[in-house]
Amino acid sequence: MKLVALNPTTPGSRHQYNLTKNLLSKHNNIFKNLTLNVFKNTGRSSNTGHITSAHKGGGCKKKFRKVNFNSFRTKSIVLMLNYDPYRNAFISVNFDFYSKFFFYSTTTQTIFPGSVSVCQKKKLELFFGNKSILINFPIGALISNVSKLSFGHEMSKYSRAAGTYCQIIQKKNQKIQIRLPSGKFVLMFSNLFATFGRVSNNKSNLVLLGKAGRNRLRGIRPCVRGVAMNPVDHPHGGRTNGGRASVTPWGKLTKGKPTVKKNE
């Protein structure tokens, strides 16, 4: 996908940078059983109408695609690439040769319609999109959709966003040390599944919306600074934060307070 700047015919398009999605299929509603109708997220209580989640509301209606992260022992062919409104990575429609059914999966880079992807525990050829356990990948390999558990519903845990990847750093007995997209190093069991290659749409962070209206179409409402509010609305209100450290609207510290769980 190429990043292009629009011809500034209007003030809203003067600073826009968009991705050309000419490789994506326009037939997104073929598989009705793989989509769920989801209404707009208002960010309010359905009973009282009070705001329960700030900076949300409005936007276009979206359909939720059921992406399969738990595909084990499959051999599938990619039929088309689709846009998914609920994630910044692209998804692909695959047909499984073994079980004879269609499913959605996140796409890795350099995957196009006609590509064949294999998922198995045995050692396989290192083609982009193939899925296997960590012990089968060499040191230094870039992987994505790394699972955290070998059972249960939380199969793919790490590196699912667009353009992200993990890297295998070291192999120790039955454990593999990998580097997460955040730069953190973790030890994982060698029998966990991962996909070879990085996630597609690596230029998604370079897109510039150009105007506030495009954010409103995504269901994002304006975020007002606390210092611009009245003292009754925010601890920073009254055109000064009162000499205190930066806090949330509920008085909790926003800088310097550790938020990462030690058990992770």
Exposed/middle/buried for residue 92 (C-beta within 10 Å: 0-12, 13-18, 19+): buried
pLDDT given for residue 151 in this prediction: 55
Which among 123, 169, 124, 161 is positioned nearest to 142, based on CA atoms?
169
pLDDT given for residue 258 in this prediction: 81
Instruction: Assign domain 3-204 one CATH number from 3.30.1360.20, 2.40.100.10, 2.40.50.1020, 2.30.30.30.
Output: 2.30.30.30
The ranges assigned to domains in the chain are 3-204, 229-264
Nearest to 38 by CA among 16, 14, 64, 70: 64
CA 124 to chain centre: 27
> In the prediction, which pLDDT does 153 show?
45
* pLDDT for the residue 261: 77
Contacts of 264 (CB under 8 A, 6+ apart): none
Q: Is 13 helix (H, G, I), strand (E, B) or coil?
A: helix
Question: How far apart are alpha carbons 133 and 107 in whole angstroms?
Answer: 18
Digit-by-digit pLDDT tens for the chain (264 residues) are: 788 998 999 998 998 999 988 889 888 777 777 888 777 778 899 899 999 998 998 888 888 888 888 767 788 999 999 999 899 999 999 998 988 889 999 999 988 899 998 988 888 888 898 998 899 999 999 999 998 876 544 578 899 999 999 999 999 888 899 999 999 999 988 888 899 999 999 999 999 999 999 999 999 999 999 999 999 999 999 887 678 889 999 998 989 888 777 775
d(CA 76, CA 117): 6
pLDDT score at 17? 92
pLDDT value at position 29? 74
Cβ count near 140 (within 10 Å): 8
Q: How many CB atoms lie within 10 A of CB 235?
A: 19
Cα–Cα distance for residue pair 150/182, rounded to 1 Å: 23
**How many Cβ atoms sit within 10 Å of the Cβ of residue 89?**
22
Distance of alpha carbon 117 from alpha carbon 108, whole angstroms: 11
pLDDT at 256: 86
CA 146 to each of CA 51, 99, 182, 220, 255: distance values in angstroms, whole numbers, following the listed order: 36, 23, 14, 30, 30
Entry pTM: 0.84
- Cα separation, 159 vs 181, in Å, equals 7
Contact 94, 117 (CB under 8 A): yes
AA letter at 190: S
The span from the CA of 158 to the CA of 143, in Å, is 10
